[in-house]
C-alpha cells in the first residue's frame, strides 16, 4: 500500500499516537482536528514526506508555482502541532491557526480563524506576511502533494541564506529548546561561517547545555560538520569533547565524531 511517509527518515516520526494524546491536543488547542489528519497519524505519527511539493496559483519565495513541504508534524513533545502557540507568538503569525509543517520562514497550517472543525489549509511566509489558502481541507492537501524536479532542495538552502540573522536573534532561538526553531538558525551559521567563528563556538557550547537530548544530538552533528570545515579552533574542540565526556548520554559521540580532531 502506498504511503506518503518517507520510510528511511525517522527524524520527525513520533511515538505511536494514542486516543488520550488526541484528546489532550484537542483540549489544549480548543479545536477538533481533521479526521483525515488523525487517520494519517494513526498510520505514522508525523514524519518526512515522499512527495514534498504542493502547487500554488501565485508565486512564493520557493518558486513561481509551488511550495516545498518536507514533513508533517504529529502530536507529541517535539516536532508537534502542540508547539503552535509558541511559534505564533515568536514569529508573529496569525492567531487561531494550528501549524503542522514549517522551518522558521514558511509554514503550513490548519486555519481555525473562522471555524472550530474541518479547517482549510493555509501557507504563511513569516518574513513577507503572505497568507495563501491552499485547499479547503486536509484531505485535498494530501491529494495535491507531488514530486518536483530535483531543484527544490537547492532552492531551500538558497532561501535559508537570504535571511541575515543578528546574534541576538540567534541567541533567542537557541534558548527555545525547540528543534524546528534551532535548525534554520544553525543552518544560517553553517552556510555563513566566515566572521562568525567565535559566535559558532559559543553557540555550540550553549546548546550542549540544553535539557533536551535531541537538541544535544543535533548540535553535535553540526559541531562535527564545523570541525570538518575547519571552523572550530582546537581549543574549542577540546572544550566540546570535555562536555561530551561529562554527559552520560553523549559520551559515545567523542569516539564517533571528535577523536580524529584531538
Q: Are residues 142 and 188 in the same domain?
A: no
Listed in sequence order, the DSSP H helices in the chain are 19-29, 35-43, 84-91, 138-144, 152-162, 167-174, 179-191, 197-207, 213-228, 234-245, 252-253
Q: Are residues 179 and 121 in the same domain?
A: no
Q: Are residues 76 and 121 in the same domain?
A: yes
Count of beta carbons in the 10 Å neighbourhood of residue 4: 15
- Residue pLDDT tens, the chain, 262 long: 468 998 887 878 999 999 999 999 999 999 999 999 999 999 999 998 999 999 999 888 788 899 989 899 999 987 899 999 988 988 889 999 999 998 767 899 999 999 999 999 999 987 778 899 999 999 999 999 999 765 443 443 444 445 788 888 898 899 888 888 899 999 999 889 988 999 999 999 999 999 888 898 889 889 888 888 889 888 888 898 899 889 888 887 777 677 666 5
What is the pLDDT, as a whole number, of residue 141?
A: 97
Contact 102, 184 (CB under 8 A): no
What is the pLDDT, as a whole number, of residue 152?
A: 40
Q: Are residues 138 and 177 in the same domain?
A: no
Which domain-ending residue is among 127, 150, 173? 150
Q: Are residues 146 and 111 in the same domain?
A: yes
- Residues 6 or more apart from 216 whose CB is under 8 A from it? 207, 208, 210, 247, 249, 250
Q: Are residues 215 and 246 in the same domain?
A: yes
Q: Are residues 146 and 174 in the same domain?
A: no
- The CATH code of the domain that includes 138 is 3.40.1580.10
- In which residue are the cell numbers 555550540 written? 204
Q: Are residues 142 and 225 in the same domain?
A: no
113 within some domain: yes
Q: Are residues 33 and 94 in the same domain?
A: yes
Q: Are residues 122 and 92 in the same domain?
A: yes
What is the pLDDT, as a whole number, of residue 132?
A: 94
Q: Are residues 37 and 129 in the same domain?
A: yes
Q: Are residues 50 and 119 in the same domain?
A: yes
Nearest to 47 by CA among 101, 5, 102, 103: 5
Q: How many domains does the chain have?
A: 2
Its domain, for residue 113, covers 19-150
What is the pLDDT, as a whole number, of residue 262?
A: 56
156 within some domain: no
What is the pLDDT, as a whole number, of residue 151?
A: 45
Rounded to two decimals, the pTM is: 0.61
Q: What cell numbers appear for 43 in the block?
A: 498510520
Amino acid at each position: 500500500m502506498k504511503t506518503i511517509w518517507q520510510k528511511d527518515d525517522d527524524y520527525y516520526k513520533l511515538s505511536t499516537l494514542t486516543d488520550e494524546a488526541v484528546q489532550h491536543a484537542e483540549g489544549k488547542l480548543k479545536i477538533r482536528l481533521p479526521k483525515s489528519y488523525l487517520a494519517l497519524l494513526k498510520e505514522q505519527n508525523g514524519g518526512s514526506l515522499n512527495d514534498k511539493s504542493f502547487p500554488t496559483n501565485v508565486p512564493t519565495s520557493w518558486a513561481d508555482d509551488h511550495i516545498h513541504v518536507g514533513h508533517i508534524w504529529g502530536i507529541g513533545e517535539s516536532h508537534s502541532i502542540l508547539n503552535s502557540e509558541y511559534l505564533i507568538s515568536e514569529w508573529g503569525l496569525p492567531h487561531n491557526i494550528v501549524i503542522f509543517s514549517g522551518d522558521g520562514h514558511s509554514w503550513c497550517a490548519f486555519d481555525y480563524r473562522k471555524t472550530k472543525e474541518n479547517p482549510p489549509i493555509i501557507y504563511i511566509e513569516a518574513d513577507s506576511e503572505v497568507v495563501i489558502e491552499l485547499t479547503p481541507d486536509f484531505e485535498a492537501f494530501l491529494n495535491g502533494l507531488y514530486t518536483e524536479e530535483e531543484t527544490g532542495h537547492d532552492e531551500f538552502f538558497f532561501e535559508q541564506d537570504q535571511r541575515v540573522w543578528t546574534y541576538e536573534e540567534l541567541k533567542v532561538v537557541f534558548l527555545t529548546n525547540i528543534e524546528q526553531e534551532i535548525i534554520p538558525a544553525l543552518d544560517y551559521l553553517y552556510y555563513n561561517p566566515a566572521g562568525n567563528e567565535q559566535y559558532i563556538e559559543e553557540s555550540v557550547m550553549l546548546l550542549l547545555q540544553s535539557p533536551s537530548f535531541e537538541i544535544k544530538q543535533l548540535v553535535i552533528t553540526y559541531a562535527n560538520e564545523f570541525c570538518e570545515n575547519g571552523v572550530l579552533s582546537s581549543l574549542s574542540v577540546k572544550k566540546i569533547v570535555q562536555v561530551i565526556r561529562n554527559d552520560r548520554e553523549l559520551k559515545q559521540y567523542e569516539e564517533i565524531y571528535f577523536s580524529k580532531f584531538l
